[in-house]
Amino acid sequence: MNFRPFAFELREPLATAAGDIARREGFLVTLDGDDGSCGVGEACPLPGWTESYDECRDALSDVTPAELDTLPPAARHGLALALLDGDARDDGVPLYRHLGRDERVETVPANATVGDASTEQTRERVTDAVDEGYTCVKLKAANRPLDEDIKRVAAAREVAPDIGIRLDANGSWTRDTANRAFEKLAAFDVSYVEQPLPASDLGGLTALPDTGVGVALDEGLYEHGIDAVLDSEADHLVLKPMALGGPDVALELARLARGAGIEPVVTTTIDGPIARAAAVHVAAAIPAVSACGLATGSLLATGDIPDPAPVGGGVVTVPQKDGNTPAVLLADYA
């Protein structure tokens, strides 16, 4: 196994629950088989979700495939993806088929990211999303007074009567604020609020009013584990393959969630093209998957690297070549 560093700048800094992101750094992982085959993976750590860059580098040093499950999340993702990519290439099928999906899947639905915009900007961005063919948008919430967030949601619904609206509170609401939010959001047919309460407060979900607004868990999965999530009041589960340790882990959790009546939503940690393509394959391996947070490729300045999973008309094109993404030029991955 070999690995080498890469780095991509974000076109604009992105605010997340773990802080602002301006640059993504990681490692390209390659596995060369005795028969001349090659598997390629990506480890792109993001502190707050995974190990640090230095910890990832140290974990990948002198590791063997047999030690896969001893690795921290991002490092495991890199090696696991390289193994899966090589196996899928050997099988002569795209990665999503290797992961278990029998039929051909051309596209997966994506949500447009509106972010934490002002009311007028929200109106404009949602209008643009509709024009671009999106059927679902995601707004960031909880960075301003609740009444202002409600006005933003109202503006989104006004310009897009039929679009799916999701909010992400990043675990920032108190129980009281969340209760008031769910009561007010019901009037705008909001699909769900992601992480309405702090990740530690899984029990607080039972106290939220039943207004038809769903609950999605993200950080709560890492705080409590899958068994607790499956027993919770969650309606959706956000899955980040990089933070979970690989496409294989993310897909297994998606299947467990679906079996418990919880809908999986696949997204990324603003990864490079190779890892983002793998997340698209995970989504493609889930039958009738709902809109996923996979329209993130344009957030990174990746130079001449071709987009292996382009977005258009509100959907992401699933790579159909053998393996994960032969379209990515490894020489340009720097």
Q: b/e string for 77-110 if b means 16 or more Cβ within 10 A?
A: bbbbbbbbbbbbbeeebbbbbbbebeeebebbbb
**Rounded to whole angstroms, what are the CA distances from 69 to 165, 207, 246, 266?**
37, 37, 10, 22
Q: Which of 138, 140, 151, 184 is catalytic?
A: 140
* 218 labelled ligand-binding: yes
**Identity of the amino acid at 41:** G
Distance separating alpha carbons of residues 239 and 246, to the nearest angstrom:
10
- 230, 222, 225, 221: which is closest to 255 by C-alpha? 230
Q: Which residues pair with 265 in a beta bridge?
A: 238
Radius of gyration of the chain from its Cα atoms, rounded to whole angstroms: 19
* 235 labelled ligand-binding: no
**Rounded to whole angstroms, what are the CA distances from 27 to 85, 201, 272, 281?**
16, 34, 10, 20
184 catalytic, yes or no? no
Is residue 191 classed as helix, strand or coil in its secondary structure? coil
138 catalytic, yes or no? no
Distance separating alpha carbons of residues 270 and 326, to the nearest angstrom:
20
Q: Which of 151, 184, 240, 321 is catalytic?
A: 240
* 128 labelled ligand-binding: no
- Based on DSSP, count helices (H) and strands (E) in the chain, helices before strands: 11, 14
Q: How many alpha carbons lie under 13 Å from residue 89 in its C-beta half-sphere?
A: 20
Q: Binding site for Mg(2+), residues?
A: 168, 194, 218
Q: Binding site, residues?
A: 168, 194, 218
The catalytic residues are: 140, 240
